[in-house]
A and B are shown apart, each in its own frame.
Chain A
Amino acid sequence: MNRNIPSISKLNNLFLDKELKPSELFEQVYENASFTESILHAHLELFYDEGMENSKKSDERFLKGESIGKLDGIPIAIKDNINVYGYKTTCSSKMLSNYVSPYDATVIGMLKETGSTFTGKTNLDEFAMGSSTENSAYGPTKNPWNPDYVPGGSSGGSAAVVSAGSAVASLGSDTGGSIRQPASFCGVVGFKPTYGTVSRFGLIAFASSLDQIGPITNTVDDARIIFDNIQGYDPKDATSIKPKYTEPKNKKLKIGIIKELMQEGVSEDSQNEVNKVTQLLENNGHEVEETSLPLTEMALSVYYLIAPAECSANLSRFDGVRFGLREPASGSYEMMNKTRAVGFGEEVKKRILLGTYALSAGYFDEYYGRALKVRSKIISDFQKAFDDFDFLISPTTPSPAFRFGEKTENPLEMYLSDLCTIPANLAGLPAISIPTGLSDNNMPLSIQLMGKPCSDYSLLDLAESIEDMVSFNHLPKITKGDNES
């Protein structure tokens, strides 16, 4: 197999120069998938027939010189919580094992317009709740760098397919780090855009005020191209915005290191990457300074009240009445109860309970109400920070990828793996994770950049210049792990 997939721009040039056909690329990517899937279990479903058919249409467009754009003929994988018309959207849950979507998510409609093809649907933690894909009802995805390690989550499948070369790029969704954390664990680029710039219509909601669709790619430029093609106001999503993208005032940037994410609880490995990158930034004439965002330490607590509260209502619609799993019972309520008892996994049930409790009469003010107040303080803290800084930098994760089972017994520790990524969701900020190095045990390390709302393109520019500075060009060698029999 050829794991070394060129960037989208290079592929587009190869297509234009008739050195490669989209269908040949699709065939190659599919071949990679055929090899890696048995080890990684990153795709839940492959769309070979329709993918091939669409690639051939791309072939023809390039032949006639009528190609649509940079994504024409590019095979993209879709996280299985984003609806694609006529295909199953399972959210890696038993609840939706038979659910076929009767409509396209807005982002899917937009991608279809670009001439891109879909490789299939990728694995995730059930309903995007988790940080390792260990909560998938269909079994976990393995990390391409070492199958004994988790790929991160919840978009673990989407990160693994890009890392493994079984798709050129993928879409993920990020509620508390679900794009950036798995991208970091798998050594690829993960970008969570500004809240509201990419439509959520057709994304099966986990926590509506935090969820954001974004790309997982090999390069920052690939992320920019995908983002460019899925961003924009959508009249079907009332939280969608008409973005006015901003540029920093000066070429020489001022970048803040978030102090609270560079202390105990964050591994030396992870901190070193930030120090390495800030050194490079200073060498390139940018100004770097440590800054304090004290409320960052409360972000995790706030998140674990707001996200479960929203999810407790968002997941109420899964009741066996109109679609999905239905457990036989003698009455309507018994049917709903049984269906939900059987259909949801443990983590999902835990969060629904947590959220229901946080919203209950008598507890609302103390939990959910207070979390909302702290959230708005976190937002204003970030606003103040961005008065002084163009961008903020931190590790993406407190530590590189961990082994399967390592954190399943200790949910708090699992939750801590989103420590650095959650603040951007609470504040609706654009944030990106880019790979910058390898740990001693050869697992990818990364840094995270955050910008003010609607600084998406300039954030990508900065990420790209860092990408050039660190020139991370390692690739995973995909083999069966120690635990494989």
Chain B
Amino acid sequence: MSLKPTIGMETHVELDTESKMFCSCKVVETDEPNISLCPTCLGLPGALPVPNKKAIEYIVMLSLGANCSITKEGMFHRKNYFYPDLPKNYQISQFDFPVGFEGSLEIVIEDSLHTVAIERVHMEEDTGKSIHLGSGRIDSATSTLLDFNRSGVPLVEVVTKPIISSAKMAVAYIEELRQLVIDLGISKGKLEKGNLRFDANISVAEEGSDELGVKVEIKNMNSLKSLEKAIDYEILRQTKMVQDKESIIQETRHWDENKQVTLSMRTKEGSADYRYFSDPDLPNMVINDEFIEISQNQIKETPEKKRKTLLDTGLSLSDSNYLDKGQRWLYELYLSTVKETGDCKSTFNFLTGELQGQMRKAEISELPQWLNSEKLASLINLFENNEVSFTSAKDILAKLLIEDIDPKSFASDNNLIQSSDNDEIKALVTSIIHENQDIVERLENPEDKLVGFLVGQVMKSSESKVNPKSVKEVLLKELFG
């Protein structure tokens, strides 16, 4: 029996709005508890929610970015459950009329494109934070501390259809989603800060079967590494259970980072009854064409668009995806540099390899002001045209990172320009052939490794002032005609 896993992802994205979802309290990033509160986000009696227009604009943007249809009239629902950090003991969320529905995200796994179908994009408010002292769990805590700074911060939940088939694919999906919210400018997208938190619904079923197996939900992860490991672990656990003819129970588990296993949190008897009903404090969200247009106009960039732009420069899919998911300045630098070099691969290699490597080593996080695409292109062209050696190019780059120089003049001034003068090379080659007769005699064909040795000898005798490619050409001509 061959089993295949099916995964659906639910991701909470914390929006980067100035104020909270239903009140004018500032969204704050601080460890100091309970400093950004009002009657509304504290759930005091008589306080009422008023929707944050910016947040709705953001969620429409995300829906558009995820290629969703947009509802004409969204509804706010109350999701009822008791928890000490949920001030009203209901969460304002959306139920049957989410803002966005039926969308898709294009994702890249290594060198192939895949599509992840999005079921819905809906808005909800965040809860406060609980710190359970004594045990970390509410039912065995000696006491619980509550911080309501986060209470009422706008969240978007993005739910995929159950069509993800591996941990790798889930990771690629989260990377794409994360990049989308960053490119849209609607969330900081910092995983370590919990700006994105994800739940994975995992089941296994027989290959070819239309029915899905019993689903297990792994809750509240915010690192890609944990996500990948947790899914892999869970697929293995479930597969083994099925093979051992044990029945899988529908439950919520969490990933234990220390033990590297998923552990049961609670068993769900059917689905929890949240008694959703439309919130009588909030009229329906009317999302008309004008509002959609305003939101659409806010979208300057999406990872999908960026990737297309990168592919158009001739770059491979995986290289395009690498730049797409990298830092913004690198993406922009690549585009402006490749325009001048016309050579996508060498530009990509030089920027992502040499430049980033040297910056990392020198602990420079930002490019010096003078180090623009023009200078980089000029440097890349220098070694691509064999005017300087790669070693010299590296040295010039190192210099460029600390000083405003012109790569070409610097190369000439410092005698780094390699000679392509055939007469000069020919003279050097002739003398090396003469000096190494024993080796020349052993040469069998142009692919012989010893050719390289001879080239090296020429280079050495020229003090690397000649172009190795030209040397090789001349040498081969001399030896094999």
A, B co-complexed: yes
Give the interface of A toward B (CB within 8 A): 81-83, 89, 91, 96, 99, 101-103, 105, 200-205, 207-209, 235-239, 309-310, 312-313, 316-319, 321-323, 331-333, 336, 356, 359-361, 364, 368
B44 proximal to A (CB < 8 A): yes
A316 in contact with B45 (CB, 8 Å) = no
Say if the beta carbon of B305 comes within 8 Å of chain A: no
Which chain B residues border A310 with CB–CB below 8 Å? 280
Q: Can you report 23 residue pairs joining A to B where beta carbons are below 8 Å apart?
A: A81-B46, A96-B45, A101-B44, A103-B47, A105-B46, A204-B45, A207-B280, A237-B48, A238-B51, A238-B282, A309-B277, A312-B275, A313-B89, A313-B275, A316-B89, A316-B90, A317-B43, A317-B87, A319-B89, A322-B44, A332-B138, A361-B271, A361-B275
Contact status A316-B44, CB under 8 Å: no
A99-B45 contact in complex given A331-B141, A332-B144, C-beta closer than 8 Å:
yes
Q: Is the CB of B277 within 8 A of A368?
A: yes
With A321-B84, A332-B138 already in contact, the answer to whether A235 and B46 are too (CB < 8 A) is no
Q: Which residues of A contact B273 (CB under 8 A)?
A: 360-361
Asked if residues A333 and B277 are in contact (CB atoms below 8 Å), the reply is no
Chain B residues with Cβ below 8 Å from A323 are 44-45
Name A95's closest neighbour in chain B (CB-CB): B45
| Residues on the B chain within 8 Å of A202, using CB | 46-47
Residue of B nearest to A89 (CB): B45
Q: Are A205 and B46 in contact (CB under 8 A)?
A: yes
Q: Which residues of A contact B46 (CB under 8 A)?
A: 81-83, 89, 101, 105, 201-205
List 17 additional A-B contacts (Cβ < 8 Å) besides A205-B281, A237-B50, A309-B277.
A81-B46, A83-B45, A89-B45, A99-B45, A103-B39, A200-B48, A203-B46, A237-B48, A312-B80, A313-B78, A317-B43, A322-B44, A322-B146, A332-B141, A336-B84, A356-B275, A360-B275
| Residue total for B at the interface (Cβ-Cβ under 8 A) | 33
B31 at the interface (CB under 8 A from A): no
Q: Say whether B88 contacts A317, CB under 8 Å.
A: yes
Q: Is B82 an interface residue (CB 8 A)?
A: yes
B153 is an interface residue with CB less than 8 A from chain A: no
Interchain CB contact under 8 A, B84 and A332: yes
Interface centre among B78, B144, B280, B282 (most CB of A within 10 A): B280
Q: Does B49 have its Cβ within 8 Å of any Cβ on chain A?
A: yes
B139 adjacent to chain A (CB < 8 Å): yes
Instruction: Please state if A317 and B50 are interface contacts (CB–CB under 8 Å).
Output: no
- The residues in B between 80 and 114 inclusive whose CB is less than 8 angstroms from any CB of A are 80, 82, 84, 87-90
> Does the CB pair A236–B50 fall under 8 Å?
yes
Across-interface contacts of A200 in B (CB, < 8 A) = 48
Q: Which of B42, B50, B89 contacts A238 (CB 8 A)?
A: B50
Complex contact B89–A359 (CB within 8 A): no
- Which of A102, A203, A317, A356 has the most B CB atoms < 10 Å from its CB? A317
Task: Check B283 against A239 for contact (C-beta < 8 Å).
Answer: yes
| A235 and B138 contacting across the interface, CB-CB below 8 Å | no
Indicate if the CB atoms of A336 and B42 lie closer than 8 Å.
no
Docked Cα-Cα span, A371 to B159, in Å, equals 31
Q: Which 10 A-B pairs have the closest CB atoms?
A: A316-B89, A209-B280, A208-B280, A359-B275, A204-B45, A202-B46, A317-B43, A361-B273, A204-B46, A317-B88
Within the assembled complex, what's the spacing in Å between the Cα atoms of A83 and B39? 11
Interchain nearest-CB distance for B32 vs A (Å): 18
Interface string of B44-80 (1 = CB under 8 A from A): 1111111100000000000000000000000000101
Q: A333-B82, A356-B275, A359-B275 are in contact. Are A313 and B90 (CB under 8 A)?
A: yes
Cross-chain contact A336 with B82 (CB below 8 angstroms): yes
**CA–CA, A323 to B44, complex, Å?**
8
Complex CA gap A385/B82 in Å reads 44
Q: Known contacts A101-B46, A204-B46, A238-B49; decide if A333 and B39 are in contact (CB<8 Å).
A: no
Which residues of B (235-294) have their CB < 8 Å from a CB of A? 271, 273, 275-277, 280-283
Cα distance A119–B126 in the bound complex, in angstroms = 40
Contacts of B47 in A (CB 8 A): 103, 201-202
Contact of B82 with A316 in the complex, beta carbons under 8 Å: yes
0/1 per residue, B128-151, Cβ < 8 Å to A? Answer: 000000000011010010100000
